[in-house]
């Protein structure tokens, strides 16, 4: 999913008929895989974002932002003339809580045109966020045939995920990810294990990460930080995980990614943390 995010920092969320003045704001391309791709590029990786951007005038803001982080766009519908999804987000200064208003945009689903067979050339890892499920299914199949590890960002259950899961190496899901007939984290882990996924993690905000990996089960603590903005922390976590898993084992990569995601919450928006040294 590729969106344009307008992010405001304010003392409170406006009440009915109230106008408030933000103390700061930022504008950036958004969406789970989008933010993850930008994060991945932070470590000098080449990231390619596969999604629908289109040709509307507003998309120039998205393209300029991603170009600034050397993220290559592989547009699944470059002729799309409708505006991209836009989200307005208010961050409450005292707590870091966020209020989001956005518009569902079914026209951003990609067409059924075949994905180029060379799309995975020189690719080391694939992340699928589930917002382009048909494209994700095709990519997951291609990746498995080329022995390229596949990571899913399971923010919530989406129709079609069941087709993608058999090709997944790393399932990193939120506490809101509930496949059919699943009601607890243990149900989710059992379901994903039945799909043959060897490495599974369940994130839950600032609470510990629950994981299952090659028969081992445990918890990973989240570093505590002074929170300014939690927007996109999960996306940043996934992008950082994709970087660290290329050089560390599963639990080490989860731990390292959690440090980056926690660090990012000290800054407004999904980009400001990169201007400081967040690599430690």
What pLDDT score was predicted for residue 279? 47
Domain membership flag for residue 10:
yes
* In a domain? residue 84: yes
Q: Kindly provide the residue ranges of all beta strands, DSSP E only, lying in 78-176, ordered along the sequence.
A: 86-92, 98-101, 126-128, 150-154, 170-174
Residue 193 domain flag: yes
Containing structural domain, residue 190: 3-275
Domains contained in the chain, number: 1
Can you name the residues that pair with 25 across neighbouring β-strands?
8
Structural domain contains residue 97: yes
Closest to 98 in 3D by CA, of 216, 179, 5: 5
CATH of residue 259's domain is 3.40.1190.20
What is the reported pTM?
0.94
User: So what's the pLDDT on residue 225?
Assistant: 85
Q: Are 261 and 236 in contact (CB under 8 A)?
A: yes
Judge contact between 121 and 23, C-beta under 8 A. no
- The pLDDT assigned to 42 comes to 96
What pLDDT is stored for residue 112 in this prediction?
56
Residue 217: inside a domain: yes
Nearest to 109 by CA among 64, 155, 160, 149: 160
pLDDT (0 to 100) of residue 25:
93
Are 182 and 188 in contact by the 8 Å Cβ rule? The answer is yes
Residue 239 lies in a domain: yes
The answer to whether residue 280 sits within a structural domain is no
Q: Which residues does 125 contact at the CB level (< 8 Å), separation at least 6? A: 148, 149, 150, 151, 242, 245, 246
What's the half-sphere exposure (Cβ side, CA atoms, 13 Å) at 225? 23
Residue 152 resides in a domain: yes
Low-confidence residues of the chain, pLDDT below 70? 104-107, 111-113, 277-280
């Amino acid at each position: 999913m590729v969106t344009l995010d307008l992010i405001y920092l304010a003392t409170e969320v406006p009440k009915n008929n109230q106008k408030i003045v933000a103390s700061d704001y930022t504008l950036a391309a958004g969406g789970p895989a989008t933010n993850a791709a930008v994060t991945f590029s932070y470590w000098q990786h080449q990231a390619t974002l596969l999604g629908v951007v289109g040709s509307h005038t507003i998309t120039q803001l998205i393209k300029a932002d991603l170009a600034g982080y050397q993220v290559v766009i592989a547009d699944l519908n470059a002729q799309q003339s409708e505006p991209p999804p836009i989200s307005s987000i208010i961050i409450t200064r005292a707590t870091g809580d966020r209020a989001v208003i956005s518009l569902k945009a079914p026209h951003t689903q990609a067409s059924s045109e075949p994905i180029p067979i060379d799309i995975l050339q020189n690719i080391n890892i694939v992340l699928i966020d589930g917002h382009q499920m048909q494209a994700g299914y095709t990519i997951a199949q291609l990746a498995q045939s080329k022995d390229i590890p596949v990571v899913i960002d399971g923010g919530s259950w989406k129709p079609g995920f069941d087709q993608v899961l058999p090709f997944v190496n790393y399932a990193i899901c939120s506490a809101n990810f509930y496949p059919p007939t699943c009601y607890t984290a243990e149900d989710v882990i059992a379901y994903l294990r039945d799909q043959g996924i060897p490495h599974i993690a369940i994130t839950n905000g600032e609470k510990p990460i629950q994981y299952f990996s090659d028969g081992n089960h445990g918890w990973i603590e989240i570093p505590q930080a002074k929170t300014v903005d939690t927007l996109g922390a999960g996306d940043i976590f996934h992008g950082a995980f994709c970087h660290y898993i290329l050089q560390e084992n599963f639990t080490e990569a989860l731990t390292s990614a959690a440090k980056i995601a926690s660090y990012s919450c000290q800054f407004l928006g999904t980009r400001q943390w990169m201007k400081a040294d967040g690599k430690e």
